[in-house]
Amino acid sequence: MASVNFRSINICVIGTGYVGLVTGVCLAKIGHSVICVDNNKDKIKKLKKGISPIYEPGLSSLIKEGIKKGRLSFSEDINYAVKNSDVVFVCVNTPTQKNGKTDLRYIKAVSREIAKAMNGYKVIVSKSTIAVGTSQKIKEIMKRHHHPKLKFDIVFNPEFLREGSAVDDFLHPDRIVIGAESEKAKRIMEQIYGSVKTPIIFTGIEASEIIKHASNAFLATKISFINTVSNICEKNGGEIEEVALAMGLDKRIGKDFLKAGIGFGGSCFPKDVAAFIRVAKDSGYDFKLLKEVQRINFNQREQFVKKVQSLIPNLKNKKIAVLGLSFKPNTDDMREAPSIDIIKMLLVKKAVIKAYDPVAMEKAKDIFKNKITYGSNMYEVMKGANAVLILTEWADFLKIDFKKAKKLLRSPFIIDGRNMFSPEKMANLGFEYYSIGRKKL
């Protein structure tokens, strides 16, 4: 894995969430010596035992491997970790407030703690998504709190990790973006990522901050675009998959992120689109295109509920089976999941919801409390239900035994928000099957 002139670097990663933990574990995997820090005692306690606090394929085994090789350790003590590192990655959460402004309280608090702990030259690398101009603010904070004789450089190194494939995305990225101001910092970052086979793009700090927001906003725009086209398909009898396939074969468009459905969720797209609209506003520009991307995205959820109602006009006390709660498959993350808005709209109409998700039910309970009930498997929730809603395209659901499902259901209604099945097949099985951007047979 390591090239001949590889040098292991002492690194500390602050924040062991979806991004920080994957970053720390993978940096240890490629040969560096990493201390992961978090102020959440439970997380650190679990991690010290090699238990991952998040569901991410491949992560647990890498945690255990890193600990075993003595390259990965966990601590709550920022002071100790910074003093024993040459490079500090900041991966604390950067929530977006209602007005779109990024909440920098955690970044600011951690920057102060790093500054006070400095005992020599460090490179401070922010991975948390931040609005353009934030790295300079971090620099100002550091200057105010650190020993004037000590030198440091700041770097912005945006993450492009998709949940559910974050480990693979880290080890095999399309590109690594490094926003840096000094040659020294660039050289050190080159050493950190030297063994990752991918282009490293060096840019100015401001450009690197904009790249992250612009990339996520563009991907979200693609999704809202194809979702709008799916509505046009429904009105005119076209098949959205045929349209998306033919569009995507044009290399300038690209096949990815053209899957119509109930829209995007997660901890990034909704937050980064809102943040980029705010960045534009603060720069004197009204980013109307992105506001429309947000509106379309919410409208997909409303459209979906209308489809449910077209099959069951009076939802009061009707039993609805929900398959899938997480914002996408292969993750337990419920942040901004479409299921949250959809279930809330159905509860307003007094529907009775029973949900199943392979991994996200524990996190869902914090959100829905006792407003919905949960099943231990996909068939339990179908028992006596008036309809089945598919909100997350978990591979498990592809194995549904529809003969068994039909016997369990009170009425053979399936409304599929992620186009998992073929309308023809479902019609032949005797289901009223609604999906997105496809004709209803």
Place of tokens 């997660």: 266
Residue 59 contacts by C-beta under 8 Å, 6 or more apart in sequence?
Answer: 21, 22, 25, 52, 166, 167
Binds ligand UDX by CB under 6 A, chosen from 74, 152, 269, 421: 269
Place of tokens 């942040």: 335
Least distance between ligand UDX and beta carbon 160 (Å):
4
Side chain identity, residue 396: D
Q: C-alpha angle with apex 421: 395 to 400, nearest 5 degrees?
A: 55
Q: Does 394 bind ligand UDX (CB under 6 A)?
A: no
Smaller CB separation from ligand UDX, 328 or 354 = 328
Smaller CB separation from ligand UDX, 253 or 408 = 253
User: Segment near ligand UDX (CB under 6 A), from 171-179, 264-272, 288-296, 309-317?
Assistant: 264-272
Q: Are 253 and 244 in contact (CB under 8 A)?
A: no
Least distance between ligand UDX and beta carbon 257 (Å):
4
Give CA–CA dist 418/44, Å, rounded: 36
Residue 183 contacts by C-beta under 8 Å, 6 or more apart in sequence?
Answer: none
Binds ligand UDX by CB under 6 A, chosen from 91, 320, 353, 436: 91
Q: Are 103 and 135 in contact (CB under 8 A)?
A: no
CA dist list (Å): 223 to 79, 220, 262, 373? 43, 5, 10, 31
Q: Does 117 bind ligand UDX (CB under 6 A)?
A: no
Q: Does 55 bind ligand UDX (CB under 6 A)?
A: no
Smaller CB separation from ligand UDX, 146 or 259 = 259
Q: Does 318 bind ligand UDX (CB under 6 A)?
A: no
User: Segment near ligand UDX (CB under 6 A), from 63-71, 251-259, 399-407, 427-435?
Assistant: 251-259
Binds ligand UDX by CB under 6 A, chosen from 162, 344, 406, 440: 162
Binds ligand UDX by CB under 6 A, chosen from 94, 134, 221, 435: 94
Least distance between ligand UDX and beta carbon 169 (Å):
7
Least distance between ligand UDX and beta carbon 76 (Å):
8
Smaller CB separation from ligand UDX, 289 or 427 = 289
User: Segment near ligand UDX (CB under 6 A), from 257-265, 287-295, 302-310, 398-406?
Assistant: 257-265
Query: How many Cα neighbours within 13 Å face the side chain of 130?
Result: 28
User: Segment near ligand UDX (CB under 6 A), from 61-69, 261-269, 371-379, 409-417?
Assistant: 261-269
Selection from 307, 326, 315, 303 nearest residue 353 by Cα: 315
Q: Are 202 and 186 in contact (CB under 8 A)?
A: yes
Q: Does 163 bind ligand UDX (CB under 6 A)?
A: yes
Q: Does 38 bind ligand UDX (CB under 6 A)?
A: yes
Give CA–CA dist 333/327, Å, rounded: 6
233 is catalytic: no
Binds ligand UDX by CB under 6 A, chosen from 55, 89, 170, 264: 264
Q: Are 2 and 195 in contact (CB under 8 A)?
A: yes
Q: Are 161 and 53 in contact (CB under 8 A)?
A: no
DSSP secondary structure letters along 166-211: HHHHHHS-S-EEEEES-HHHHHHHHHHHTTS-S-EEEE-HHHHHHH
Query: How many Cα neighbours within 13 Å face the side chain of 6?
Result: 15
Give CA–CA dist 23/90, Å, rounded: 10
- Mask: binding to ligand UDX, 13-32, rule CB under 6 A, as x and -? -xxxxxxx------------
Give CA–CA dist 380/160, Å, rounded: 37
Q: Does 159 bind ligand UDX (CB under 6 A)?
A: yes
User: Segment near ligand UDX (CB under 6 A), from 114-122, 215-223, 342-350, 372-380?
Assistant: 215-223
Least distance between ligand UDX and beta carbon 4 (Å):
32
User: Segment near ligand UDX (CB under 6 A), from 102-110, 135-143, 344-352, 409-417?
Assistant: 102-110
Binds ligand UDX by CB under 6 A, chosen from 52, 128, 230, 419: 128
How would you label 134-170 residue by residue, b for 16+ Cβ within 10 Å and e otherwise? Answer: bbeebbebbeeebeeeeebbbbbbbbbbebbebbebb
Which residues contact ligand UDX by CB under 6 A?
Answer: 14-20, 38-40, 43, 91-94, 106, 109-110, 128-129, 159-163, 216, 219, 223, 257-259, 261, 263-269, 271, 327-328
Active site residues: 268
